Chain A
Amino acid sequence: MDPKQIAEIEVDVLLESIRLRYDYDFRHYARASLKRRVQNMLVKENLQMPYQLIPRILYDQSIFDRFLSEMSVTVTEMFRDPSFFEALQETVFPALKTYPFFKIWHAGCATGEEVYSLAILLKEAGLLDRARIYATDYNNHSLKIAKQGIYRSENFEDNTKAYQRAGGKNQLSDYYTQQYDAIKFKDSLKDNITFAYHNLVKDGVFGEMHLVVCRNVLIYFDKDLQNHALTLFDNSLARRGFLCLGSKETIDYSVLKNSFESQSRSNKIFRKNN
């Protein structure tokens, strides 16, 4: 057998071990990115081959926790793609305004920067009091950071610029307090946000949503798992609900292509048909 095929088997056996031991299923993650993460993990653990991880992960929960951190996408910024947030305000907010109360699911929120971005814009539109935002992730460590809402202040000049380009009406600094090299978002932003564990691979619908935001998560999934997650979003959304994906993600070739219409092609905002 070709050594490359054997290396693939090694990764398969590692993923199967993790699934059986910890009930996390990474088999339908996009393979090339997954293998990079495994490779990063090997370097950090001072190992050479994926098979060497198997006994360690099976018998040592702390190594699995580190693997989980390695696997979960934690690169996120405030107001990433300002044009998306601009379009969100123009396209989605007017529809949300027609509801006395509405629900938003932010799936794969990682460390929470985008959730706070969304909450700030809702507040400026006078909509935050009517909103319940469910921000979910499968990485409990990321969720803990998101819940605290404390971030290093070094990026905040960029964040302030992005906030302004996204159509922010005030000063970003109105929403946080600064201490030394950290900023903390005010509790008034958090009152309407519920941070919770949810794994798109195995967990189901938990409420009827008016808006689902899931950006730069699906690119890490293979076609099957993408369709699985999109079906979950479809089943979660109320009639005429909105779905927002990352700038390089689309429903065009998916199971949802006929049940949603595009509201902003470049900003990947889709709306559910009846």
Chain B
Amino acid sequence: MEQFAPVKRSKDGQPIRYLIVDDSVFARKNLARMIESFGGQVAAEAGDGLTAISEFDRTHPDIVLMDITMPQMEGIEAAEKIVQAHPEARVVMVSSVGYQENIVAALQRGARHFVQKPVKPEVLYEVIKYVLGEDGAVATAAGAGV
């Protein structure tokens, strides 16, 4: 997989920590590989919305990558609950069902962005940089960026 310039946390130069939420093991592995290529760390994984909420509370990740169609609790509802409890949470929806209604519903309920599956690494990378804003910094070749 293509390697990207690592994105780090501006405040301490540590890797960005991610919570990956998807009921598909395949999708979680795929996203984890992309995150590693961005210099990030997988803080936790969850296969449904309910587990995502408890994993967020446990790990306090910098970014949540959240699928929509999942058992027990769907992604948009889980995103809303996480953002209600943690207004600073950055949730990016990652779904193949990316029609306008879903995108609008997700954004209205607290998600910061939407990425359509199949995920292109270069698209996700740009979205992550955008969502992090000044809280993220791209490390230079010399290892700077903090």
Report whether chain A binds chain B. no
Chain A residues with a Cβ under 8 A of chain B: none
Chain B residues with a Cβ under 8 A of chain A: none
